[in-house]
């Protein structure tokens, strides 16, 4: 009978499951159950209780003791069997590519674009919605002061170091050494397959299984939507994986906008941003 790996708690864990299943010995030895919705950890559930009780390996990201029923202290003291192997890893985060990132912008924008851009909203306002002027300003290779960009990277790294402190899996050093060479995040909390592969291999090593191959050319389940990286950020950070002509993935599965493409260059991305924000002609 196979043993059970149970993984929680957010959108980053389903890709982890799929990567673990690339190891044939894991497939032979384990079933893997994932719960990736924070709401499932809010209140007691017999189904979730049973998953914890059955787990031979529990892989988790820390969640608040105040807001969640199934926080680590409760789970460890009440549900996990003594022999259960426990591996913790951080809620992965990096905003260094996006010095003007914000989670809430214009309400129209947030209905289609999961995140917004402080600088872009300012440009749109200053240019009085003139698309040509907006594009000219946004494409400026000196749009951001170098200190703004450097501070964004430094603060982001410090935040992840705080999150992963005392956890079993740590990736800050990898991010610091590689974020300019390969795309490690699609949005500040949606890591790329390349970074998730690093996490996966650290977990496999903890479990004494062989690591899997590099997956930089694999599918990107968390990359359905990508946040705009400005040319000025590309220039300052000397990003090797992107240029001002690169395409960006959009949230195009919106019935209201059947003409929205799946991918777009920066110019088209900004045109759609303006159109949705102000319902102007594109």
pLDDT digits (tens, 9 = 90+) for 22-69: 999 999 999 999 987 767 777 788 998 999 999 999 999 987 776 678
Task: Tell the residue number behind the tokens 């059947």, with chain if given.
Answer: 258
Torsion of CA 145, 97, 242, 141, to 10 degrees: -10
Task: Tell the residue number behind the tokens 């890893």, with chain if given.
Answer: 89
Number of neighbours of residue 126 by Cβ within 10 angstroms: 12
pLDDT of residue 96: 96
Please name which of 86, 78, 132 lies closest in space to residue 274, comparing C-alpha atoms: 132
Cβ-contact 135, 270 below 8 angstroms? yes
pLDDT of residue 9: 78
pLDDT of residue 282: 45
pLDDT of residue 106: 59
Cα separation, 213 vs 201, whole angstroms: 9
* Total residues found in the chain within this entry: 282
Q: Please give the sequence-ordered ranges of beta strands (E in DSSP) within the chain, or none if there are none.
A: 3-8, 30-35, 57-60, 85-88, 101-102, 116-117, 185-187, 190-191, 248-249, 263-264
Half-sphere exposure (Cβ direction) of 10: Cα atoms closer than 13 Å = 15
Please name which of 69, 49, 56 lies closest in space to residue 26, comparing C-alpha atoms: 56
Task: Tell the residue number behind the tokens 């608040």, with chain if given.
Answer: 64
Cα separation, 34 vs 201, whole angstroms: 18
Report the predicted TM-score, pTM, of the whole model to 2 decimal places.
0.91
- Spatial CB neighbours of 88, under 8 Å, sequence gap ≥ 6: 59, 60, 61, 62, 72, 167, 168, 169
Q: Give, in order, the Cα–Cα distances in Å from 106 to each of 249, 268, 276.
A: 20, 19, 9
Q: Residue ranges of the chain with pLDDT lower than 50? A: 280-282
pLDDT of residue 67: 66
Cβ-contact 56, 84 below 8 angstroms? yes
* CA–CA–CA angle 115, 119, 121 (5° rounding): 70
pLDDT of residue 37: 72
pLDDT of residue 5: 98
């Amino acid at each position: 009978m196979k043993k059970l790996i149970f993984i929680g708690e957010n959108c980053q864990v389903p890709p982890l499951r799929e990567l673990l299943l690339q190891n044939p010995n894991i497939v032979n030895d384990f079933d893997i159950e994932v719960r990736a919705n924070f709401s499932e950890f809010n209140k007691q559930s017999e189904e979730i209780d049973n998953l914890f009780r059955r787990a031979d390996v529990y892989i988790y990201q820390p969640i608040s003791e105040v807001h969640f029923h199934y926080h680590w202290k409760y789970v460890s003291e009440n549900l996990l069997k003594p022999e259960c192997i426990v591996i913790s890893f951080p809620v992965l985060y990096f905003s260094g590519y996006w010095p003007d990132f914000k989670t809430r912008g214009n309400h129209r924008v947030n209905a289609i674009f999961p995140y917004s851009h402080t600088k872009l909203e300012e440009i749109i306002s200053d240019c009085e919605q003139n698309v040509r002027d907006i594009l000219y300003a946004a494409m400026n290779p000196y749009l951001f002061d170098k200190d703004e960009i450097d501070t964004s990277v430094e603060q982001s790294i410090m935040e992840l170091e705080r999150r992963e402190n005392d956890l079993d899996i740590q990736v800050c050093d990898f991010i610091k050494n590689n974020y300019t060479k390969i795309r490690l995040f699609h949005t500040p909390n949606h890591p790329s397959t390349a970074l998730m592969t690093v996490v996966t291999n650290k977990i496999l090593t903890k479990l004494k299984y062989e690591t899997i191959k590099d997956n930089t050319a694999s599918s990107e389940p968390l990359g359905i939507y990508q946040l705009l990286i400005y040319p000025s950020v590309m220039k300052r950070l000397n990003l090797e994986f992107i240029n001002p002509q690169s395409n960006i993935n959009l949230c195009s599965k919106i019935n209201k906008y059947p003409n929205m493409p799946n991918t777009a260059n920066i110019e088209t991305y900004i045109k759609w941003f303006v159109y949705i924000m102000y319902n102007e002609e594109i």
